[in-house]
Structure 1
Amino acid sequence: MYELREEYLNYKPRTHQLQMQQVKKIDTKVISNRFFNSYSLHMERANDLETLCRLREYNMTGYRNMAVHCYAYWKGIYIRDNYELENMVIEFNNAFTEPLNETEVQAVLRCIPKAIDKFIAYEQGIRSGERKRVSKGMRDKEGYWYKNETLIDRLGITSKEQRHMKTIIGIDEKYDRNNKRRRDERRNENGLTKKQQELLDLKNKVESMKEQGHSLRTIAKDLSISLGKVQRVLKK
């Protein structure tokens, strides 16, 4: 895909002002869009990391190495052009209020390709049926698989910051979101629970029948409710 893009569209990866040693060998392997959950998870985590940097106004001092490491790996999962990935990582690092130096960034970039290749082989092995997915723990998975607790600890992510993220969240934030979702699911498009909607519908019927001249006793009989309930509904 990348070779065709360069040959027929005359495309060249954009360079960055910081000229670091270029990666001459271009890896032309492309990840299939069938990399469902694992693929989308890595993309969302990269987005979460960018969100974290924006929240901190790119003051990542104390967390720069881990941030650059994760960003390079997560982005590299679906950017299979090493030169393009390098420029993207350099740009990400240069946005920090105190960027890592060139040697430190290159050290991170050197360890990323092998981990990405292991991730690809692991995922392809699962989809071909040659391997079984590891469901417990991260040790036997290929590539870098950090638990949320590890990322939160190593990046110093606060509870407030987690509210702005999609995937890097702790147990408390997860529970809060699940509870909120359950509350929202119990309400209809009007923001009412089933019971509240039933009471509103009953009130509308009672008021409509009363406007048509029906007595309260007649309304109660027709709607199969008590006279007292009719009176209570009209008072609300």
Structure 2
Amino acid sequence: MINNALQHLDLLHNATDGYVTIAKKENGTFKQKTLLPSELLRNLDHWQGNDIYISQNSFFIPRRRVDTLRQLRTLYIDLDFYRVLHPYDPQYIVWLLEKDCFRTKIPEPNCITYSGRGLVLQWFIEPTRNFSLPLWQRIQRYFYSILKEYGADPCSLDAARVFRLAGSVNSKNGNLVYLEHRHSERYTLNEIKEEYLPEEVVTRNKRAKFSSSQNRTQKNPHKFSVWTLHRDRMFDLNNLVANRNGDMDGCREQCCYLYRYWNSCYVSDPVEALRQTLDFNSQFLDPLPDSEVVRATKSVENYYKNFISETEFQKARALGYPSAGLNVSNQRIIEMLRITNQEQRFMTTIISKDEKYRRSNKSREAKRRAEGKPTRDEYQASRQEKARVKLEKFRGLLQEMPNASNRDLATLLEVSEGNIRQLKKKL
């Protein structure tokens, strides 16, 4: 069984850049460790037996959350086919998928994990950083839409998921988890998008940011969606905690509340969102007790129900909100968490209008430099030099033609008479 686990780990995390999570379920509790691959291999003997799980992607710190992702390495779908299809033979389900889906509607998976009761389809991709997360998630949701009739689990689509490790045992029925390796060619996200995603998948998301100009063409319809806003705000909270070295006294509850809500909307799984929120809380210099985090963020569950409700969504849009659920302005968040101007410089979305204008001005200045245009100081110096030359030329004309009228001088210098009067005052 150890050889099966080693093969699975090698396929998933060969040359992984970052940390990998391995977990075990014992007596109803979930115990996990997030280690470097080399450490994991040295300690793999301790992770054998019943209900062993492994993360599919890697993390830049030893914490398994979507806002700590280091590399996206795998796409996956968990098929609980036994809930919707008969017979329950997994080989029959694979035959159906080969006949109806693989290489036509979706690419052929690199591996299929027989997890004891269901199947996990895995597509290996060229490792990419977390900035590719929106496209990764779009492909995940597309795969889910195709495989929904085969029992695809909608709660297993986020990038921080763990699935059963080959060589372990599913304690629910005693079946061995094993792996079928079908091919080794890695895909790229763009290849999958171009070849498989239909046009309607990349159109404007119904939860995209509200705009009064509904008919306006958007260059990137997903760029400002509520979904990506929730993701980026989670990243900002993580950066805030890091910049404060975990010292969040005075705003720990508010931080956990916002994090749990945004995470719930992002991963579409309140249970997983709570787990990640408890992990987020553990980064604080003085963490809240888990029970207090659960109590203080309990009402998030109601906001999340409103967020996924189509009726509430339509009501919110009619009132001008981008979505249903919890809508909090950046200014309110900045006040709640006492975010300074300096801290905002390390953030993506939780920024004030002043910081927004500062970045806009900096961007415009950089664009001018790239186009070879002068800096403001250079421009002012150039204007002063032109004024000096004009004044010297005017002084010379007066010496040559002391009795010339303002009109004559203006004609000779190709300026207005008002400009001539101003030049005389400077002499």
TM-score normalised to structure 1 length: 0.62
CA positional deviation for 1:125:
4.6
How many residues get paired? 174
| Contact 1:148/1:170, CA 8 A, preserved across alignment | yes
Q: Which among 94, 98, 108 is matched to residue 282 of structure 2?
A: 94
Is it true that 1:173 corresponds to 2:284 in the alignment? no
- In the alignment, which residue of structure 1 is the partner of 2:272? 84
- In the alignment, which residue of structure 2 is the partner of 1:66? 254
Is it true that 1:183 corresponds to 2:365 in the alignment? yes
Question: How has the CA–CA distance of structure 1 residues 9 and 27 changed in structure 2, closer, same or farther, with 3 Å as cutoff?
Answer: closer
CA positional deviation for 1:118:
1.0
| Contact 1:122/1:141, CA 8 A, preserved across alignment | no
- In the alignment, which residue of structure 2 is the partner of 1:223? none
Is it true that 1:47 corresponds to 2:197 in the alignment? no
| Contact 1:68/1:89, CA 8 A, preserved across alignment | yes
Give the Cα separation in 1 of the matches to 2:275 and 2:316.
34
4+ residue segments displaced more than 3 Å? 1-6, 26-36, 122-126, 130-135
CA positional deviation for 1:9:
2.9
CA positional deviation for 1:121:
2.3
Root-mean-square deviation (CA, aligned residues, Å) is 3.5
Question: How has the CA–CA distance of structure 1 residues 141 and 79 changed in structure 2, closer, same or farther, with 3 Å as cutoff?
Answer: closer
CA positional deviation for 1:184:
2.0
Amino acid at match of 1:149: Q
Give the Cα separation in 2 of the matches to 1:162 and 1:131.
29
- In the alignment, which residue of structure 2 is the partner of 1:146? 328
Q: Flag the structure with higher helix content.
A: 1
Q: Which among 115, 119, 125 is matched to residue 8 of structure 1?
A: 119
Amino acid at match of 2:245: E
Amino acid at match of 2:283: A
Structure 1 residues 77-132: Cα deviation after superposition (integer angstroms, max 9, x where no partner): 12123332222111111111111112211113422222112112259955xxx874
More relative contact order, 1 or 2 (CA 8 Å, 6+ apart): 1
Amino acid at match of 1:69: Y
Larger mean Cα displacement after TM superposition, 171-180 or 102-111:
102-111
Give the Cα separation in 2 of the matches to 1:99 and 1:131.
35
CA positional deviation for 1:186:
2.2
CA positional deviation for 1:28:
4.3
| Contact 2:231/2:263, CA 8 A, preserved across alignment | yes
Instruction: Find the residue that maps to 2:287 and give its secondary structure.
Output: coil
Question: How has the CA–CA distance of structure 1 residues 123 and 174 changed in structure 2, closer, same or farther, with 3 Å as cutoff?
Answer: farther
| Contact 1:163/1:173, CA 8 A, preserved across alignment | yes
Give the Cα separation in 2 of the matches to 1:92 and 1:123.
32
Structure 1 residues 134-169: Cα deviation after superposition (integer angstroms, max 9, x where no partner): 43xx6x952111111110010010000000111111
Give the Cα separation in 2 of the matches to 1:134 and 1:194.
46
Give the Cα separation in 1 of the matches to 2:258 and 2:154.
20
CA positional deviation for 1:171:
1.5
Give the Cα separation in 1 of the matches to 2:308 and 2:156.
10
1:144-223 matched pairs, under 5 angstroms: 144-188=326-370, 192-193=372-373
Question: How has the CA–CA distance of structure 1 residues 169 and 194 changed in structure 2, closer, same or farther, with 3 Å as cutoff?
Answer: same
Q: Percent identity?
A: 28
Give the Cα separation in 2 of the matches to 1:131 and 1:29.
28
- In the alignment, which residue of structure 2 is the partner of 1:217? none
TM-score normalised to structure 2 length: 0.36
Q: Flag the structure with higher strand content.
A: 2
Question: How has the CA–CA distance of structure 1 residues 42 and 132 changed in structure 2, closer, same or farther, with 3 Å as cutoff?
Answer: same
Structure 1 residues 168-207: Cα deviation after superposition (integer angstroms, max 9, x where no partner): 1112111101111222222326xx21799xxxxxxxxxxx
